[in-house]
Structure 1
Amino acid sequence: MIDPQGREASRLATMQVFGWFGVRCIFRSPAEGDDWLYEERVTLWPAVDAESAIALAETEAEEYAGAIDAEYLGLAQAYTMADELGPGAEVYSLIRPSRLATSVYLTTYFDTGTERQTHTRQEQSSLDRRDLQE
């Protein structure tokens, strides 16, 4: 006779501890003319470490790229989540040093004016104030 409690204890003993990881992958797809569209996409993965999360994300990235007629560019960056999953949880963070002024930094890396995004009125007002301060 099989001992269900013993089997459950054995299963729990062999389970690996995992955490949640946000993995950012970069894609490129054709646009009109000679332009390319670049997409940064963050997905969430339960994994035992960042390397495993990246492996899962890259497999899914290849599938995603095929579905949208894009190319996965082979860049994946993982972030180990410290927060519990839920509203307001930080799923990705990247910190880089820079000597650029705020508006130049944002324009260089995030808000070139060609992004396919929508600014709220509050965001636009904040950007306008920032430009005046520098």
Structure 2
Amino acid sequence: MTLIARFETALDGAARPLGLAVSGGSDSLALLHLAAEAGVGPLFCATVNHGLRPEAAAECALVADACSKLDVAHEILDWRWSGAGNLQAEARAGRYGALTDWAKRRGLGTVLVGHTQ
């Protein structure tokens, strides 16, 4: 079974349209390219800019460019840490909160995320 066939099988029953959370890392960029090649669209993509590193804006631009080349709608979602609590936990909660709000606003049925282990 090809990778695309396995991907399509994994999406059986997934509510549409699909959203993709793409950070700019190799895992999520691979997910973006796989979803676009599989033709499971329409696809909508979001990148969360935490504003925690100087490179963040450039990474968001890289994802926007990749989406443009693949004809996938893309949005940058901004989230900022208040300074309270554990940074990693707050960034994770903020990222998923921003993605949840985005998915609801866009009427997305499923949001896919890619993570390496």
The bucket for the TM-score relative to the shorter chain is 0.3 to 0.5
Greater RCO (Cα-Cα under 8 Å, separation 6 or more) = 2
The structure with the largest helix share of the pair is 2
Structure of greater Rg: 1
Q: Could you tell me the TM-score, scaled by structure 2's length?
A: 0.33
